[in-house]
């Protein structure tokens, strides 16, 4: 809902040494260069409940909202592993900033589904952050050349910073009958909403991740959206598409980095507290065990999420390769796995931080609020494990752990787990 023009008086932007965001390496470098500025802006980001102008401009210049644009359209097309790394590093400084990156970055995935002509119209440059919400669903009624769209959308993360806003809509024909999509269910589209028709409701007052700017927005009078400005949100896996657009499950994988970053932040604060409070002989063994437990939770969850990203990247970035249903389900389960690590880490870290963590001026308080708020997200829900398990149960050709690992295949061939 922001204007496309990002010019500003340099007096409002303390210039950070950033590289031109023309490669994945440059964006990763810029991510680390931004850390100090984001830390300085964190209080203001929480207060205004969105990215500050200073933070938003710096992040745009760093290219962190452009990671998902396809190379075929001049984009960075960064791997899922790289995207998780960027989001996690920013979220380890401020969860709200990391959340904005994880969500706005998905706009590049959406944009890659547009025709070349429409992409050129809406994205003359890939510096066009795009937010979107698919909950609850809006309504798109078929009409000549497109749809009449209306609806009320919640969870519009990043929409204050975005140049484009997408709304998820269920499709109806002119007579009000449901239109069935390629998956056999009512068609669900993503529609680039006309900016002049959007009414932001400014209702994002929440426990934590306050600066995600996840306001609701609505269109009450049906607005025309050309069919070219829409895409099929439930399109089947396409092995011939651009790597990041082969499956719809890829677009929010990087959000796993938010809970991982919050967990890292909590462990870092707890570790510093242990250093400060240690006696002349150093921390006692029980304290060290607790800290070590928290460190292990974060390190191994982070490594696991990145490894699943790497394995997924191998499929997505191989021409013609097909991703099985359980491999797609495993991608969504990765976020729930990262969330479980955060659930285990938070109580350990708050105990190590001491009783003052409840005070408004203690940094652990915000981490605790941000952590619990991030865990409320649908991507952190335990039910995602059931979807993963069901997909594996349904596929008798694979095992149940690291199903595409050759070692696992060897065990299956020997039938060591026959019952």
Whole-angstrom Cα distance, residue 383 to residue 385? 5
Helical spans, DSSP H, in 105-162: 106-111, 116-122
Residue 146, beta-bridge partner list: 143, 226
Q: How many CB atoms lie within 10 A of CB 294?
A: 24
Q: Are 224 and 147 in contact (CB under 8 A)?
A: yes
Q: What is the pLDDT of residues 326-353, one digit of tens each?
A: 999 999 999 999 999 999 999 999 999 9
Q: What is the pLDDT of residues 408-417, one digit of tens each?
A: 555 555 544 4
Kind and range of the H or E element at 346?
Answer: helix 325-353
Helical spans, DSSP H, in 5-105: 24-33, 35-48, 53-62, 80-91, 95-104
Domains, the chain, in order of start with CATH, read 10-122 (1.10.540.10), 130-232 (2.40.110.10), 243-414 (1.20.140.10)
Amino acid 401: pLDDT? 85
Burial of 320 (0-12, 13-18, 19+ CB in 10 A): exposed
Whole-angstrom Cα distance, residue 323 to residue 308? 13
Amino acid 416: pLDDT? 47
Give this prediction's pTM: 0.93
Q: Using the 8-state DSSP alphabet, how is residue 115 labeled?
A: -
Mean pLDDT by 10 residues, the chain (419 residues): 48 75 98 98 98 98 98 97 99 99 95 96 98 97 99 98 98 98 94 98 98 98 98 93 94 96 99 86 92 98 97 96 94 96 98 96 98 96 96 88 62 49
Residue with tokens 């590049």: 108
Q: Are 65 and 107 in contact (CB under 8 A)?
A: yes
Three-state DSSP state, 263: helix
Whole-angstrom Cα distance, residue 224 to residue 189? 14
């Amino acid at each position: 809902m922001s204007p496309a023009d990002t010019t500003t008086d340099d007096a409002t932007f303390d210039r950070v040494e950033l590289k031109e965001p023309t490669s994945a390496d440059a964006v990763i470098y810029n991510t680390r260069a931004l850390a100090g500025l984001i830390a300085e802006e964190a209080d203001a980001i929480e207060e205004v409940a969105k990215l500050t102008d200073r933070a938003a401009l710096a992040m745009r210049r760093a290219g962190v909202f452009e990671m998902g644009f396809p190379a075929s359209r001049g984009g960075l097309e960064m791997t899922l592993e790289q995207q998780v790394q960027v989001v996690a590093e920013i979220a380890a400084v401020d969860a709200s900033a990391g959340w904005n990156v994880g969500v706005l970055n998905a706009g590049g995935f959406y944009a890659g589904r547009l025709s070349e002509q429409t992409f050129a119209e809406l994205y003359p440059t890939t510096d066009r952050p795009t937010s979107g919400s698919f909950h609850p669903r809006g309504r798109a009624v078929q009409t000549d050349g497109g749809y009449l769209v209306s609806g009320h959308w919640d969870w519009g993360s990043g929409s204050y910073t975005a140049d484009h806003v997408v709304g998820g809509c269920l499709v109806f024909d002119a007579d009000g009958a449901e239109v069935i999509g390629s998956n056999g269910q009512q068609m669900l589209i993503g529609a680039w909403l006309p900016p002049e028709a959007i009414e932001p409701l400014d209702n994002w007052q929440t426990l934590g991740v306050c600066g995600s700017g996840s306001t609701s927005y609505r269109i009450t009078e049906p607005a025309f959206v050309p069919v070219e400005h829409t895409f099929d949100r439930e399109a089947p896996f396409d092995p011939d598409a651009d790597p990041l657009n082969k499956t719809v499950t890829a677009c929010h994988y990087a959000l796993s980095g938010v809970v991982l970053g919050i967990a890292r932040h909590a462990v870092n604060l707890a570790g510093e507290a242990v250093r400060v409070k240690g006696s002349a002989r150093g921390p006692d063994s029980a304290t060290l065990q607790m800290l070590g437990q928290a460190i292990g939770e974060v390190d191994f969850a982070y490594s696991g999420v990145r490894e699943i990203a790497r394995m997924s990247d191998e499929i997505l970035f191989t021409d013609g390769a097909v991703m099985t249903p359980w491999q797609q389900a495993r991608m969504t389960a990765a976020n729930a796995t990262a969330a479980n690590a955060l659930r285990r880490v938070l109580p350990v870290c708050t105990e190590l931080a001491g009783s003052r963590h409840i005070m408004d001026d203690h940094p652990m308080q915000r981490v605790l609020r941000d952590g619990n708020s991030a865990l409320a997200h649908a991507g952190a829900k335990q039910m995602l494990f059931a979807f993963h398990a069901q997909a594996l149960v349904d596929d008798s050709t694979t095992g149940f752990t690291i199903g595409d690992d050759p070692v696992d295949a060897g065990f299956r061939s020997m039938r060591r787990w026959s019952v």
